[in-house]
Structure 1
Amino acid sequence: MKKTFVLIVLFVLPIIAYLFFASGVNNFGRLPTLTEGIREIEASEKRVKLANNITVLGFLGNEVENKKGNAFNLNQKIYKRFNEFKDFQFVMVMPFGTEAKVEELKTELSALADVSKWKFVFLEPAVIQELFNSLKTDLELDADLGTPYVFIIDKERNLRGRTEDEDEGTKFGFNTNSVADLNNKMEDDVKIILAEYRLALKKNNANRAK
């Protein structure tokens, strides 16, 4: 009896636990959609697009040097953990005139990680404001067209976030000033949306194989 009990504990219970959590992911592992169909980036000379990509979208503003700490936090806590996933990108929307500052920032970031999925697009101030407004959040850009918050955008150009966050209620974005916000919330939410698309891909492949 003791041997049977030990075998059950060692082999059966882990399988039951796996099935339970796998079922939970399948049924509940979707990140809520907060805003549908945000504005596409139309004027990018590098043809950076939100559609068909999972995007971390940010607005660093004119004073890039004041947002370097934010970029480093994001790079270390989120980018380095997830940058190898296909169709995953970081897009930073910048005002024209910040090109030299951005090159300096990219050089500094490249000492810490491969920055090929850090994409910077340069737009007119009015276009930047229109793009930000299309997110329909409770946040605002500052006078320099920047914000410490970044946003998760799915492949259909929908803003994803939390509807029942314990601290904010509806959580539209993640504060890159806060390592705790990146570690405790954004990391989890990025995992969820990546798992969501992986699951959808597996289902599509299974259906094609039938």
Structure 2
Amino acid sequence: MKKNIVLFVLFVLPIVAYLFFASGVHNFTHLPTVTPTVPDLKNWKSIKGDTFSLNNKITILVFPGNEVLKNKGNAFNLNQKIYEKVMGFSDFQLICVTPFGMEEQTTIVHEDLSRISDMSRWHYIFATPDEIKNYYQQFNLIGQLGADFGTPNVFIIDKERNLRGRKGKDKKGNTEYKEGYNTISAADLHNEMGDDIKIILAEYRLALKKNSADRIK
């Protein structure tokens, strides 16, 4: 009897566990597209003159507006709850689209966060308020920029420049819609955005494994 129990634990349970998690892959590793193919931003530059593209990168896109220091707490929440956990991935970047005139304030925030994090994948680029407003409007979102040309919401952009979020039915069958994640709420970042960014990363891991397997065949 004991021998049968041991054999069950060693051989049957691992198979059952594998089937359970494998069946969940298709249910929980796809994040819907909210806006397909958002415009790129490679024409805007950082203080050092560097340009960045959304192509072939998993991007967290931020619109901090012209009250960067006042909203420093939002940047801290984003840094601790999301950025710190994913900045080690080579295809990841965080881009802040910021109005001209905020160069000094962004430098202060960047330096402050550098004391607790490696900020090499956190970038500020600059544009005029009208350029930022026109760019944001092309996302066709429900939430709008504030009078400061910013929003506390941040957005997940995949490697094909699709804005991803929650759209459709949740696990309980309730209708849900989420186009951005509120940096004022540490819980929103930790729970919902944390889960969703993991899903995006899992999608690309699965794609890489599939491509590798196809090349071996």
Deviations 1:110-163 (A, max 9, x none): 011100000111011111112211221110111111111000000111110001
Look up the SS of the partner of 1:65 in the other structure.
Answer: coil
Corresponding residue number in structure 1 for 2:12: 12
SS at match of 1:97: coil
- For 1:192 and 1:28, the matched residues in 2 are separated by 7
Is 1:199 the counterpart of 2:201? The answer is no
114, 120, 125: which one aligns with 1:116: 120
CA-atom RMSD, angstroms? 1.7
- SS at the partner of 2:41? coil
Question: What's the counterpart of residue 37 of structure 2?
Answer: 37
Distance of 1:117 and 1:75 partners within structure 2: 11
37-46 vs 196-205, greater mean Cα deviation? 37-46
**Structure 2, gaps ≥5 residues long:** none
Number of the residue aligned with 2:56 = 52
- Picking from 141, 152, 159, the partner of 1:155 is 159
AA in 2 matched with 1:174: Y
Secondary structure of the corresponding residue to residue 40 of structure 1: coil
Aligned to 2:183: 176
Asked if 2 retains the 8 angstrom alpha-carbon contact of 1:43 and 1:123, the reply is no
The amino acid that maps onto 1:38 is V
Deviation at 1:207, TM superposition (A): 1.3
CA contact (8 A) 2:78 2:189 kept: yes
Match status 1:84 vs 2:88: yes
Q: 1:138 to 1:49 in 2, by over 3 A?
A: same
Question: Which contiguous aligned blocks of 4+ residues in structure 1 show a shift greater than 6 angstroms?
Answer: none
Bigger drift between 17-26 and 66-75 goes to 17-26
AA at the equivalent of 1:175: N
Identity %: 55
**2: CA distance between counterparts of 1:168 and 1:44?**
37
Given that residues 39 and 131 in structure 1 are in contact (C-alpha distance below 8 angstroms), is that contact kept between their aligned partners in structure 2? yes
Q: CA deviation at 1:8?
A: 1.3
Letter in 2 for 1:32: P
Distance 1:26 1:124, change over 3 A: same
| Contact 2:28–2:199 under 8 Å retained in 1 | no
Q: Does 1:73 align with 2:77?
A: yes
- Normalised by the length of structure 2, the TM-score is 0.91
Deviation (angstroms), 1:10: 4.6
Gaps of 5+ in 1: none
Report the counterpart of residue 22 of structure 1 in structure 2. Answer: 22
Q: Give 1:12 deviation, angstroms.
A: 2.4
CA separation of 1:168/1:57 partners in 2, compared to 1, >3 Å: closer, same or farther? farther
> Quick check: 1:208 aligned with 2:215?
yes
Q: Deviations over 1:65-93 (max 9, x none)?
A: 12110000000010111110121111111
- The number of residue pairs the alignment matches comes to 210
1:3 aligns with 2:3: yes
Structure 1 counterpart SS, 2:202: helix
Alignment partner, residue 108 of structure 2: 104
Rounded Cα–Cα distance in structure 2 between residues aligned with 1:86 and 1:173: 23
